[in-house]
Structures are given as structure tokens and as C-alpha cells.
Amino acid sequence: MLILSLSTFAFSVVYAKIYYHHVFDTELKRLESTVRQISQTVSSTASIAAYLEDKDLANEVVNGLVSNDIILSAALTNKQTVLAKSILYKDQGALPFYLPNPFILQENIGIIYVVPNTLYIEQNARDSAFSSVQTLLVVVLPMLLLFAVLALFLISRPLGHLSKQLASVLPGSAQRIYVDPLNDQNEIGKIGKDINVMLANTETLFEQERSLRVEVEKLEKRFRLMFERSSSPTVLVKEHGEVILVNDAAKDLLAGMGIDSEERFPENLGQFCKTPDILYTFTENSIKLKQVMQSEFEFTNPLTLSSVWLSLIILNTKSDGQWYFQVFLADITARKTMLNQLSHRAQRDSLTSLYNRYGAELTLMEWIDSETQFSLLLIDLDKFKPVNDIYGHNAGDEVLKQIAKRLAQLVPNTELVSRWGGDEFVVAIKDVNIVKVNHMAQQVLDEINTSITYEKNGHRIELNVSASIGIAHFPMHADSLKGLVECADVAMYSVKKTSKNNFTIYST
């Protein structure tokens, strides 16, 4: 409404201004043309005055001209002289009117100079323009006012009413706006009806939206249930390690390891991992390559200080331009322990609990692979068969057990003691010189030579055995395990054939 009034006012002002200028210009032209006409009227008398050089007649002409309000001053000249001029006459702004010879029309004999009364003419034009504008405004302003009032009552008010109603309508509800029957046939009524059509459409759309949302919520609930109740511990992580979702199984697992489930991944696991560097490299690669990756890591449970093995599977998914990582955890400690036990069993001799030949070979192969220098002592018991034959297998087993125990005590944990097979033992010692090896061989012999007490049927029996020991050095004597054992074997046999109960180092 304010805009309407303002634009009405602005229009009036602009129109009045244009009209004023128009009237002013027209009036100015009219007055100038009047000056021309007056000058034309006196030109025949003026011609005569110029022809006869009659100053009186010339004065009469000039005075006649000046008596007009719109002429400020005038002068009449013939070719040579000024015949008459009014007191205020100046050349500036004078309009010349050429005077012909009254009898020879082609000949100019003089000029009338007329100076229009510009101030008077302009004032006149202004007055005339102003009064025209006044008249115009008297007509136009009430008309515009009437227009504005009609616009207010016929357009602005009904529109305002519609807009107020529309503002109070809740989108999607069954509410409709009221259309005045007076406006039923006009544009206002049409707008109202269109709004109602739109509201009806909106309601339908909202209805569809609502039922869809219910569907989506139902589905989401199911998926959430699947995720949360899943027995597989699962964690959903954003690209930079922010943990978004943790299901119940994962919560239990992490809580069991004293890890806060809100902590960032993979630092939450890394702090207790035995090989955190490998864990971090693994997760980094998985994130970088966007591939499914699986690996197993050993952790120390800070609560129980026991070893925990976890399997990690990282799955990358992209959703709405954002990368997510599904981390599946699995506690594989039990399986790992079982495997360790199996492996232990495979590598151990059940009678003596020492490494068996297979276990010893694994260790020695490792040493050879890492180029660790070592001496291998192949120990073969002398006089063992008679013990078995005379006192029975149990006695023989007891001998083997006792010797194994003594050797295990004698040789440091870092070195190797094993039952190579039957009555053969292998001891391997790293980084030793010949003196130490000899010393160790002597100590082994001493331990074996010490009598073994065996009880059978309440009788204490002293059992005595000895041993032949062949020694070979890696890599001095051979650069493979097979070759090394052969060398030791050769050395051992040379003892066995000669003195027995002795040791010797392989020599070519």
C-alpha cells in the first residue's frame, strides 16, 4: 500500500514536471513567434522610414515596438546609420528583421533589431506552465487518490487477507483458505482457489512422504537390530578414524580388553597391540587402497595381562560421497592357542619334552637362514641297547628322560637341545670358539657319565651310559643343515669306532 501511494505520488511529480516543461517550452515558442509577428507588422512602416531616412517615423516604429511587454528594446537602421533606437537597446540578443525597399522588393535597405524581453517572456511562460500544472494536479491527484483507495480495497486488502490465511495454514494439513464469494469471479478469487489446489497437492505429497518415512523407519530398525544383535563384533568408522557405530558384540569385546568404544580407530587397538607398527601400516594400506583386507594381531589384555589374538577385516564403503570403514573384529585367541599347542606337539618329543628332530630342524634352518654361526654336537649314547635289553624299555626311557633333563639344565634357553631320534641327541650352541665348544662337549659327557638311579620292583639300580659326540661348525664345515649333520655324523662315528665316551670335531 505504501509502495502504491509512493509510486502514485512519484508518478504525479514526474508527470507534473514533464508537463510543466512542455507547457513552458510551448509558451516560450509562442511568445517568440509573437515577437516575430509584431516585428512583421511594423516592417512596412519601418521600410518607409528606412527608405526616406525618416528618423521621426523610425522613432515612431521603435516606440511602437517597445510599448509591447514582450519586447525589451529595439533599433532601426538603414545601411549607413542608426535612425532610431530605444534607450535600453543593446546588440546582445537582438533579432534582426531585414527591411526591403518599399518599391524595389529585392533590395534590402535596413534592419530592425528587436530584443525580446526574455525575462518577461520566461516569467510569463513559467506562470502559464505553473498554472497549467496546478490545473493538471487538481484533476490528477484526486484521480490517483481514488485509484489508490480502490486498489487498497479491491486488491491489497483481499491479498493481505489471503496471505494471512495462508500463513496460518499448516502445510500438509487438511486446512483450506476461505475465498470470499464476492471475489469468486475475479483474479483474487482465482488466486485463492489455486492456493487451495496447491494445498490439496501438498497434503497428498505429505501423506505419501509420511507413509514412506514409516517404511524407512521400519527397515532401519530391522537393519539396526541386525547390526546390533550380530554376534560378530563390528565397528563403523569414518575416514579419519571417528567411531560412529559399535554393536553390542564389539562393545563387549572392547570392554573385555579395557578399551573405550568411543576412542579413535586404530589407535584404540594399537595401544595394546604387540606389533602396533604393523597394525597401523595394515589399516593405512586398507584405507589407501580401498580394498577388503584381513590380518591377525596379537594384543596384551591390560586387565588380565594375557595374550589376545584378534582377526581384523576392514571393508570400505562409500555412501553419499563419504568413505566409511566397517571393521569386523574376531577374538581368535582360542583357535590361535590350539594351533600353537598343535605346533608345539609336532615339534616336541613326547617322552623327553625336548624338541624332536622336526622341531630341531626348524630352529636350525632359521639359524642358517639368518646366517647365525653355531656348532652342532651330535650325541650318540654308547651302551644304551644293553640297558634296554637287560632292564626293559621303561629303564631305557628313564635313562633318556634323565639325560634330557640334565642337558636341558646344562644348555642355556637361548641354545638348542633336542632328541634327534632313538638314543641320539643334538645340542647346538651359537657364536662359540673351539675352546668353549670343547668345554661344552666335556660338560655334556660328564652329565651323561653320571649314573642314573632307576627303581624297579623296590630295587634301586644304578644305570651307567656313555656317549660319542661328533662336532661340526656352521658355516666352517658345511653350509647346509644336511651337510652339517653328515659332518657331525662322520666325526661321531670316528669316536664310536675308536675310544667311545669322547668327542671330536669334524676334520676333513
Partner 1 sequence: MRAYISSLCFLLIVSMKLEASEPQDIVIVVNKNNPIEQVTHRQLIDMYMGKYLAFPNGHMAITLDYRKEHPLRSAFFKALTGRNISQINAYWSRVKFSGKASPPQAYPSTEAIIDKVITTPSAIAYLPASAVTDELKVVYRFVQ
Q: Which is nearer to partner 1, 60 or 489 (CB)?
A: 60
**Strand 502-505 relative to strand 466-474: parallel, antiparallel, unpaired?**
parallel
Asked whether 192 and 183 are in contact (CB, 8 A), the reply is: yes
Cα of 339 vs its chain's centroid, Å: 45
Least Å distance, CB 57 to partner 1, is: 5
Q: Which is nearer to partner 1, 57 or 467 (CB)?
A: 57
Angle at 167 between CA 163 and CA 173, to 5 degrees: 125
Least Å distance, CB 60 to partner 1, is: 7
Half-sphere exposure of 429 (CA within 13 A, CB side): 19
Q: Which is nearer to partner 1, 112 or 491 (CB)?
A: 112
Least Å distance, CB 78 to partner 1, is: 11
Say which residues have a Cβ less than 8 Å from residue 295's Cβ, sequence separation at least 6. Answer: 278, 282, 311, 312
Least Å distance, CB 44 to partner 1, is: 9
Q: Which is nearer to partner 1, 84 or 254 (CB)?
A: 84
Q: Which is nearer to partner 1, 48 or 95 (CB)?
A: 48
Least Å distance, CB 59 to partner 1, is: 9
56-85: which residues touch partner 1 (CB under 8 A)?
A: 56-57, 60
Least Å distance, CB 11 to partner 1, is: 58
Least Å distance, CB 112 to partner 1, is: 16
- What CA–CA distance (Å, rounded) separates 139 from 330? 94
Least Å distance, CB 65 to partner 1, is: 16
**Three cell numbers written together for 237:** 568408522
Long-range contacts formed by 306-309: CB under 8 A, 24+ apart: 307/274, 307/333, 308/257, 308/333, 309/333, 309/335, 309/336
Site size toward partner 1, by CB under 8 A: 12
Inter-CA distances, 107 with 44, 98, 99, 309, Å: 14, 10, 8, 133
297-316: which residues touch partner 1 (CB under 8 A)?
A: none
Least Å distance, CB 76 to partner 1, is: 13
Q: Which is nearer to partner 1, 61 or 404 (CB)?
A: 61
Q: Write the single-letter amino acid at 181.
A: P
- What CA–CA distance (Å, rounded) separates 461 from 122? 158
| Residue window 16-55: x/- pattern of binding to partner 1, with contact defined by CB under 8 A | -----------------------------x--x--xx-x-
- What CA–CA distance (Å, rounded) separates 79 from 90? 18
- What CA–CA distance (Å, rounded) separates 434 from 476? 12
- What CA–CA distance (Å, rounded) separates 429 from 415? 5
Residue in 384, 406, 408 with CA at minimum distance from that of residue 397:
384
| Residue window 86-125: x/- pattern of binding to partner 1, with contact defined by CB under 8 A | ----------------xxxx--------------------
- What CA–CA distance (Å, rounded) separates 119 from 125? 10
Q: Which is nearer to partner 1, 101 or 326 (CB)?
A: 101
Q: Which is nearer to partner 1, 54 or 380 (CB)?
A: 54
Least Å distance, CB 56 to partner 1, is: 4
Q: Which is nearer to partner 1, 54 or 398 (CB)?
A: 54
Angle at 45 between CA 42 and CA 51, to 5 degrees: 130
Say which residues have a Cβ less than 8 Å from residue 416's Cβ, sequence separation at least 6. Answer: 355, 360, 363, 364, 426, 427, 428, 429
158-177: which residues touch partner 1 (CB under 8 A)?
A: none
- What CA–CA distance (Å, rounded) separates 422 from 231? 50
Q: Which is nearer to partner 1, 7 or 44 (CB)?
A: 44
Cis peptide bond upstream of 158, omega within 30 = no
Least Å distance, CB 58 to partner 1, is: 9
Residue 183 interacts with partner 1 (CB under 8 A): yes or no: no
Q: Which is nearer to partner 1, 60 or 263 (CB)?
A: 60
Least Å distance, CB 98 to partner 1, is: 19
Q: Which is nearer to partner 1, 109 or 114 (CB)?
A: 109
Question: Which residue's C-alpha cell is 657364536?
Answer: 431
Residue in 205, 189, 196 with CA at minimum distance from that of residue 175:
196
Say which residues have a Cβ less than 8 Å from residue 70's Cβ, sequence separation at least 6. Answer: 31, 34, 35, 38, 116, 117, 120, 121, 124
Q: Which is nearer to partner 1, 64 or 172 (CB)?
A: 64
Inter-CA distances, 442 with 32, 404, 448, Å: 150, 16, 10
Least Å distance, CB 80 to partner 1, is: 14
Using CB under 8 A, list all residues that contact partner 1.
Answer: 45, 48, 51-52, 54, 56-57, 60, 102-105
